[in-house]
Amino acid sequence: MGEAAGTFTLAIWVKPDATIPLPEERKAAVAFQGQNWAVFPPQGEQQFGEGHAGVGIAAGRNGVVVFEHSARHAPAVITFPADLGARAHVALVCRDGVPTLHVNGREVRSGTKGTHAVHATVAGKGPAFRGDRSAPMLFDRALEAEEIAALAEAMPFPSIEPPDVEFARGAEGGLFARRWGPAPATARLSDGKTVTLDGAGVPAAVVIDGPWRVAFPPELGAPPGATFEKLLSWPEHADPGIRFFSGTATYEKTFDLPGSLFGEDRELYLDLGEVAVIARVRLNGKDLPTLWKPPFRACIDGIARPGPNALEIRVTNLWPNRMIGDAALPDDIEWQPSGKGTSLPKAWPDWLVGGKPRPSGRIAFCTRKDVYSKDDPLLPSGLLGPVRVRAAVRQALD
């Protein structure tokens, strides 16, 4: 099911790759910044009406936070510090609006009923999660403790990491196994033939670390360039021009590949890890396919070479971050109610008609007022990584 209210269970497997803020329970009106959303909380008033809140779960290596998001109010209703360095099963049980958190099949903390009617939904799409997570499961009832424990044991956990072995057909139709990991395996073919797959000879991935040179376009609020010693989401950067940037930034890096990575019956892939939201890649002057969904991975056979390689990654995010940053600046548009719960420009402003700079310093322009507020959550953006070159070994099966 896609939506439930009042009484429900929301469950998900997570393996976070980020540390998150752990706000005090019900102390901050808005405590969204820097969170890592396993399930993003919809704005309840906008989606369900006045007096309603959407439930969300943030998960980091250091704990879990449950939020209830109404309109401008998004308190942390449960904050549970914990070591989540390994994969973890997280389940939120809500009984008549009272939340209880279970981690790895065990109840760890209960909250109190809030002032809004709460809803859970898995139909929408939120910001990219830093790490691995399964698809969330939503039940329209409060599961019992033994049911949650059983779910924690049985729930699958897909990963963006490649499996140890994949099967594919070559250009001429021949079946082959692509080995990503060293563990031995056995394949039984449709004709009854059994083939042993030896994982020996699969080399370790080459990690492309920082520093990275990052260039930003002019007149969008960010500096012309910056050096990222390590990859991080733009909203985590100290410079507000980068923190609120929306647009396309270009990452550049020269890295070395050892000759031992290359060889007969091997395939090479560039794996970007996590990207928010879309990437266009050039390696040694050659364009790779546009990467817009996991896995952010492309074959680089015939393009990569032993020794130095020149890498350029152009990453584009979404507009909300810039609009959230602009919301903290003075307004420079005269608005009038539209009669549909929002406001529209009363007239086109003189600076827009005359093609002049905005007097407020705002950058984004929207024909609706208050689409975002200065306290709304910033979306993860940029190249999050880790960036690696991976080698797979091919083994013919017929």
| pLDDT tier for residue 235 given thresholds of 50, 70 and 90 | confident
Is the same domain home to 144 and 83?
A: yes
Mean pLDDT, to the nearest integer, of 199-214? 88
Flag whether pLDDT at 390 surpasses 80: yes
Query: Does residue 159 fall inside a structural domain?
Result: no
**Residue-level pLDDT at 311:** 97
**Residue-level pLDDT at 17:** 84
**Residue-level pLDDT at 194:** 83
Q: Is residue 236 helix, strand or coil?
A: helix
Domain final position from 124, 154, 184: 154
Query: Does residue 160 fall inside a structural domain?
Result: no
**Residue-level pLDDT at 340:** 64
Is the same domain home to 75 and 216?
A: no
Is the same domain home to 230 and 353?
A: no
Counting runs of H as helices and runs of E as strands, what totals does the chain give?
A: 5, 30
**Residue-level pLDDT at 86:** 73
Question: What confidence tens digit (pLDDT) does each residue in 279-307 have?
Answer: 999 999 999 999 988 789 999 999 999 99
Rounded distance between C-alpha atoms, residue 106 and residue 89, angstroms = 10
Is the same domain home to 212 and 197?
A: no
The answer to which of 88-92, 118-122, 185-189 has the lowest mean pLDDT is 185-189
Write the CATH number for 60: 2.60.120.200
Is the same domain home to 173 and 188?
A: yes
Rounded distance between C-alpha atoms, residue 91 and residue 109, angstroms = 11
With a pLDDT cut of 90, the percent of the chain lying above it is 45
Indicate the number of domains in the chain.
4
**Residue-level pLDDT at 397:** 80
Q: Are 237 and 243 in contact (CB under 8 A)?
A: yes
**Residue-level pLDDT at 160:** 58
Backbone φ and ψ for 267, nearest 5 degrees, come out as -120, 140
Report the amino acid identity of residue 18: A
Is the same domain home to 240 and 291?
A: yes
Place of tokens 């399930």: 39
Rounded distance between C-alpha atoms, residue 65 and residue 56, angstroms = 8
Is the same domain home to 11 and 133?
A: yes
Is the same domain home to 53 and 75?
A: yes
Rounded distance between C-alpha atoms, residue 37 and residue 120, angstroms = 14
Is the same domain home to 147 and 196?
A: no
Residue ranges making up the domain that contains 315: 206-319+380-394
Question: What confidence tens digit (pLDDT) does each residue in 157-177 have?
Answer: 555 567 778 888 887 778 888
Q: What secondary structure does DSSP assign to 69-83, as a single string?
A: E-SS-B-EEEEEE--
**Residue-level pLDDT at 43:** 84
Is the same domain home to 61 and 110?
A: yes
